[in-house]
Amino acid sequence: MKKLILSILCLPIFGFAQCISGDCYNGQGTMILSNEDVYVGEYKYGKKYGQGTYIWASGTIYAGEWKDGEEHGQGTCIWSSGEKYVGEYKYGQIYGQGTYTWPSGNKYIGEWKDGLMNGQGTYTWSSGTIYTGEWKDGKKHGKGTKTDASGSVYKGLWDNNVLTQTEDLPHNEEKMIDYITYFEEEEVTDEVFVIVEDMPRFQGCADDQCTQIEIMKYIAKNTNYPPIAKENNITGRVFVSFVVDKTGKVTQVKVLRGVDKYIDAEAVRVVQSMPRFKPGKQKGKTVSVQYNVPINFKLGAPTEEK
């Protein structure tokens, strides 16, 4: 009779790390972490410092400058979800000049602060619409010009993505309301964060540590090892990505790296079944946050039946 063992790991994971080559204290080295993340680059007093490349087990890659163990300076990050950023970082946050490209084809080129569009920048939609002007906390705010795909130009003052003042706006209040409403139709693509000031909370949790533990408990309790996989001794680790959206709902569940179609399907099913979270917040606003969950499917050695 086989003993079923199911272990779950929820990123980020801290624990055993191994320097497999070079000098991982002061110099060039390669480090493998317990969660299979890999860093190749320069170290200073045991911290990532200088040029280096970090590869997450999920497939996300950052290549660039580091300081005191955090992304700092010029760098390029390519997410497993297909998003790409090339530009400046400041202590782990996108900060300064940079270009961000979404899988949809939308692109922003300009200034950033604390991971949000802040300052002067140009946002180009895949539809052909372009906005050039000022931004604040990820929204059009201040002087700016928006040109739609048909060539129509709207120039003036914006507030929270809405055009509020322009020389071309009619003075009739009723017409002004209709005119402003038109500009609320096309919003900047909802940004998905990885780390925010207030991370999402699992039901009954008051902090992130509790949330990590409860996610592991829930998956362990509700995962069923597929019989056909068990019969054929199929084992392995499935990496699942999911997003806790602004309402706290678990969405965008997908397999980043799979093992077998039956095991993969079970991993997706159990993650999709998780209850609503308390949504995460950044600067007081609810935001969508991505998680990566590696799930190990293991079959233990046969045990004597009693």
pLDDT of 304 strictly over 50: no
Whole-model pTM: value is: 0.53
pLDDT band at 305 (very low <50, low <70, confident <90, very high): very low
Q: How confident is the model at residue 182 (pLDDT cuts 50, 70, 90)?
A: very low
For residue 9, pLDDT beyond 50: no
Instruction: At 50, list the tokens.
Output: 């200088």
* Predicted local confidence at residue 287, as pLDDT: 93
Structural domains of the chain in order of their starting residue, each with its CATH number: 14-96 (2.20.110.10), 105-188 (no CATH), 193-300 (3.30.2420.10)
Compute the distance between CA of residue 29 and CA of residue 19 in angstroms, rounded to an integer: 7
Q: What is the DSSP string of 39-84?
A: EEEEEETTEEEEEEEEE-TTS-EEEEEEETTEEEEEEEEE-TTS-E
Residue 83 to residue 99: CA distance in whole angstroms: 11
Q: Which of 108, 58, 65, 69 is nearest to 88 (CA)?
A: 65
Nearest partner of 241 among 267, 275, 221, judged by Cα: 267
The mean pLDDT of the chain is: 81
Going by C-alpha positions, the residue among 226, 217, 232 that lies closest to residue 269 is: 226
- Dump pLDDT digits (tens) for 21-72: 889 999 988 888 878 888 988 999 989 999 999 988 888 889 899 999 999 9
Give residue 208's pLDDT band: very low, low, confident or very high (50, 70, 90): confident
Upper half-sphere CA count for residue 292 (Cβ side, 13 Å): 23
Q: Find, among 61, 121, 111, the residue nearest to 88 by Cα.
A: 111
By C-alpha distance, which of 123, 157, 128 is closest to 142? 157
From 61, 64, 72, 12, select the one nearest 290 (Cα to Cα).
12
Map residue 220 onto helix, strand or coil: helix
Average pLDDT value for residue range 246-271: 92
Q: Strands, E, within 148-268: which ranges?
A: 153-159, 162-165, 192-193, 236-244, 250-257
CB count within 10 Å of CB 105 equals 10
Q: Stretch 78-90: mean pLDDT, rounded? A: 89
Indicate if the pLDDT at residue 161 is higher than 90.
no
Between 288 and 304, where is the model more confident? Answer: 288
Mean pLDDT value of segment 179-204: 66
Least-confidence region, from 102-116, 187-201, 234-248, 250-264: 187-201
Residue 138 has pLDDT above 50, yes or no: yes
pLDDT at 14 over 70: no
Contacts of 142 (CB under 8 A, 6+ apart): 133, 134, 135, 136, 157, 158
- pLDDT value at residue 190: 64
> pLDDT confidence of 300, banded at 50, 70, 90?
low
pLDDT band at 169 (very low <50, low <70, confident <90, very high): very low
